[in-house]
Chains A and B, each alone.
Chain A
Amino acid sequence: MKGVVESPRKAYGEALIALGGSDPDMVVMDADLSTSTKTAMFAKKFNDRFFNAGIAEQNMMAMAAGLSIDTRTVFVSTFAIFAAGRAYDQIRQSIAYSSLNVKIVATHGGITVGGDGASHEMIEDIGLMYGLPNMKIFIPVDSNETYNGIISIAKIKGPFYVRLSRMETETITERETEFKINEIPVLREGSDAVIVGTGQVLKRALDVAESLKKQNIDVAVYNMHTIKPVNREEIERIARKYGVIVTIEEHNINTGVGAIISSVTSDVYPVHVVKLGIHDIFGESGEADELMDKYGLSVKDIEEGVKYAMKIRG
């Protein structure tokens, strides 16, 4: 259902159970965070196909490679900071290099982790994973898209990095919404300006688009759930239509979706890209909303970003 506050992590757990039921060879790993990542839901049902690596993410990641070499689909989960960060080299050498069928589902991505602070706030994983040949990246906008996306990537051979947030956010899509990897679906049509973003922060972008209507600004919002492979044609189409793009992400703007989109547009149809996100600074402890407000993702930041984009486009 649309408009209900739900946990994408729980939707991930449900998807794992569905997949585990239809694929008797599928295995799941975690590193002592199964209650948080929700792989515990799979563990409860398929205990003999769940392996807890303990607090040893690097070992877990390369073990997952080994399990997948024997033709299994392997889902492996921990917080984004320990997946893309701690185990980066294992992802690169043991998984991506040989394009193994390991699906890394990293939770607690971004600054909205909250109280744990900067040591647990992963703001550079999109850049790290985007730079890896063979790797694909999927970042869902809500719990329904999490479920549908996980089911869909399980059918695609090769490595995937999936980033979920800790936050529960209002659903924007439906379970019944058809999901196609690689597409950049439009969440809201608009004629004056466009926001292209990724992940649950898009809920804020939609709210701002709605409120800008009162100021007679009609903003479109696009959901770039597949970061890699990047859909160059669609980005070109959006760039041509609007002449300027505002991007939004819970990530360092240096290496995130904004940087990726501007690198595509500079190739195919150069336009200004106004990047909303974290400005190359570590986060801190706080409530999720407070952190978004402080670190470049406030309602005001988004409104001003849109107005600035319209101004420089002329």
Chain B
Amino acid sequence: MKPVLTELDGDISLEKKGFEKICDIELLKRKAVDIRRDIIKMIYLAGSGHLGGSLSIADIVTALYFNILNHDPSDPLWVERDRFILSKGHAVPAQYAALAETGYFSKEKLWTLRKLGSDLQGHPAMHKLAGIEASTGSLGQGISIAVGLALSLKMRKSNSMVFTIVGDGECQSGEVWEAAMAAAHYNVNNLIVIVDRNGLQIDGETEKIMSVEPLSEKWKAFGWDVTHMNGNNMEDIVKTTSNVLQNREKPSVIIAKTIKGKGISFMENNVSFHGKPPTASEYERAIKELGDIL
């Protein structure tokens, strides 16, 4: 039975529930392969969508949904859940795949991505789909929403964490730094930002388009704890995130080195796969490459 909530004053104790986490790294890696397969199939069937940026965060999103987040797919609004906001909303196929693979909805629904009438919009829409915590897609805004949400959770002494993934190109947006300043000012130490440092945006390499370096020093100067990890290495993701969770004096940022298009040889570091679907033969090759990993 669900406890009836009258007030969200933070003192209500709820029975511990949630998703049974997977701790076996090998198993998590296999889950990441499933997520990648879903991403590629979804975008192939949709005929549009963002492959590169979805694949670069596939390992992080897998680790979040299967290992890190406290959540309950059978009760998406469980008050004590951790929140995840995808600030780089164009990579939402990765999140939809994780939601389906953890049981929020059937996998069949994944194949409706971007189709008229589907809840699976091209960019996350919280009013359409349970499991989506904020509507994003206009870069720079998701992190601000995450700061506000973290602030609210902290005010009511919730133990819930807020995680958000921002793109490295997204870090060019002034709003990211306005959010960074506010998070430090209000010390929302229940917020963990992961920067997907894949080195690419649409028009090319971030450092050639509009340099974001030195990134780590910038976050430090804004009052954040900064950590680095290999965002395509499952062991590193799980270990680093759990360390950060245990030491939270300030808002934390993890700069995750990743490869755009990770997992499919011909998509890796290939800027042309930012926002274009695979052709039929590229689709076959990609699925075959993923099959060979197992």
**Which residues of the partner chain A approach B117 to less than 8 Å between Cβ atoms?**
284, 286
State whether the Cβ of B203 lies closer than 8 Å to any Cβ in chain A. yes
Given A58-B174, A285-B114, are A119 and B135 neighbors across the interface (CB < 8 Å)?
A: yes
Given A119-B135, A286-B116, are A52 and B123 neighbors across the interface (CB < 8 Å)?
A: no
**Which residues of the partner chain B approach A59 to less than 8 Å between Cβ atoms?**
174
Given A54-B172, A117-B114, A120-B122, are A81 and B203 neighbors across the interface (CB < 8 Å)?
A: no
Cα separation A285 to B45 with both chains bound (whole Å): 14
Given A56-B174, A59-B174, are A115 and B48 neighbors across the interface (CB < 8 Å)?
A: yes
Q: Which of B71-125 contact A (CB under 8 A)?
A: 89, 113-118, 120-123, 125
Given A54-B169, A55-B173, A119-B136, are A290 and B116 neighbors across the interface (CB < 8 Å)?
A: yes
Given A35-B202, A54-B201, A286-B115, are A118 and B172 neighbors across the interface (CB < 8 Å)?
A: no
Q: Which of A1-60 contact B (CB under 8 A)?
A: 30, 32-36, 40, 52-56, 58-59
Q: Are B138 and A119 in contact (CB under 8 A)?
A: yes
State whether the Cβ of A160 lies closer than 8 Å to any Cβ in chain B. no
Q: Are B118 and A55 in contact (CB under 8 A)?
A: no
Q: Are A284 and B202 in contact (CB under 8 A)?
A: no
Given A32-B169, A117-B114, are A54 and B209 neighbors across the interface (CB < 8 Å)?
A: yes
Q: Are A285 and B138 in contact (CB under 8 A)?
A: no
Q: How far is the CB of B92 from chain A (nearest CB, A)?
A: 10
**Which residues of the partner chain B approach A286 to less than 8 Å between Cβ atoms?**
114-117
Q: Are B174 and A116 in contact (CB under 8 A)?
A: no
Cα separation A283 to B263 with both chains bound (whole Å): 34
State whether the Cβ of A82 lies closer than 8 Å to any Cβ in chain B. yes
Cα separation A308 to B114 with both chains bound (whole Å): 34
State whether the Cβ of B130 lies closer than 8 Å to any Cβ in chain A. no
Cross-interface CB contact of A52 among B114, B120, B140, B203, cutoff 8 Å: B203
Cross-interface CB contact of A117 among B125, B139, B170, cutoff 8 Å: B125
Cα separation A71 to B81 with both chains bound (whole Å): 56
Contact-residue bracket for chain A? 20 to 34
Cα separation A186 to B48 with both chains bound (whole Å): 37
Cα separation A34 to B203 with both chains bound (whole Å): 7
**Which residues of the partner chain A approach B202 to less than 8 Å between Cβ atoms?**
32-33, 35-36
Q: Are B203 and A120 in contact (CB under 8 A)?
A: no
Q: Are B121 and A32 in contact (CB under 8 A)?
A: no
Cα separation A82 to B123 with both chains bound (whole Å): 15
Q: Are B137 and A115 in contact (CB under 8 A)?
A: no
State whether the Cβ of B155 lies closer than 8 Å to any Cβ in chain A. no
Q: How far is the CB of B215 from chain A (nearest CB, A)?
A: 13
Given A58-B174, A115-B47, A117-B123, are A291 and B201 neighbors across the interface (CB < 8 Å)?
A: no
Closest residue of B by beta carbon distance from A116: B122
State whether the Cβ of B290 lies closer than 8 Å to any Cβ in chain A. no
State whether the Cβ of B181 lies closer than 8 Å to any Cβ in chain A. no
Q: Are B48 and A52 in contact (CB under 8 A)?
A: no
Q: Are B170 and A118 in contact (CB under 8 A)?
A: no
Cα separation A139 to B221 with both chains bound (whole Å): 45
State whether the Cβ of B251 lies closer than 8 Å to any Cβ in chain A. no
Q: Which of A278-298 contact B (CB under 8 A)?
A: 284-287, 290-291, 294
**Which residues of the partner chain B approach A285 to less than 8 Å between Cβ atoms?**
113-116, 118, 120-122
* Majority secondary structure of chain B interface residues (helix, strand, loop or mixed): loop
Q: How far is the CB of B214 from chain A (nearest CB, A)?
A: 16
**Which residues of the partner chain B approach A34 to less than 8 Å between Cβ atoms?**
203
Q: Are B118 and A56 in contact (CB under 8 A)?
A: no
Q: Are B173 and A56 in contact (CB under 8 A)?
A: yes
Number of interface residues of B (CB under 8 A): 33
State whether the Cβ of B49 lies closer than 8 Å to any Cβ in chain A. yes
Q: Are A32 and B203 in contact (CB under 8 A)?
A: yes
**Which residues of the partner chain A approach B113 to less than 8 Å between Cβ atoms?**
285
**Which residues of the partner chain A approach B145 to less than 8 Å between Cβ atoms?**
none
State whether the Cβ of A237 lies closer than 8 Å to any Cβ in chain B. no
**Which residues of the partner chain A approach B229 to less than 8 Å between Cβ atoms?**
none
State whether the Cβ of B46 lies closer than 8 Å to any Cβ in chain A. yes
State whether the Cβ of B210 lies closer than 8 Å to any Cβ in chain A. yes
Closest residue of A by beta carbon distance from B212: A54
**Which residues of the partner chain A approach B206 to less than 8 Å between Cβ atoms?**
54
State whether the Cβ of A114 lies closer than 8 Å to any Cβ in chain B. yes
Q: Which of A66-109 contact B (CB under 8 A)?
A: 81-82, 85-86
Q: How far is the CB of B56 from chain A (nearest CB, A)?
A: 16
Q: Would you give the 0/1 interface string for A294-314, flagging 1 where the beta carbon is closer than 8 Å to chain B?
A: 100000000000000000000
Q: How far is the CB of A123 from chain B (nearest CB, A)?
A: 15
Q: How far is the CB of B98 from chain A (nearest CB, A)?
A: 19
Q: How far is the CB of B202 from chain A (nearest CB, A)?
A: 5
Cα separation A287 to B169 with both chains bound (whole Å): 28
Q: Are A284 and B116 in contact (CB under 8 A)?
A: yes
**Which residues of the partner chain B approach A284 to less than 8 Å between Cβ atoms?**
116-117, 121
Cross-interface CB contact of A33 among B46, B118, B172, B203, cutoff 8 Å: B203
Cα separation A53 to B201 with both chains bound (whole Å): 12
Subset of 5 A-B contacts with CB under 8 Å: A33-B202, A55-B139, A56-B174, A85-B138, A287-B116
List residues of A whose CB falls within 8 A of some B CB.
Answer: 30, 32-36, 40, 52-56, 58-59, 81-82, 85-86, 114-120, 284-287, 290-291, 294
Seed contacts A55-B139, A119-B121; 16 additional CB < 8 Å A-B pairs: A30-B203, A32-B201, A32-B209, A32-B210, A36-B202, A54-B169, A58-B174, A116-B48, A116-B122, A118-B125, A120-B122, A285-B114, A285-B116, A286-B114, A286-B117, A294-B116
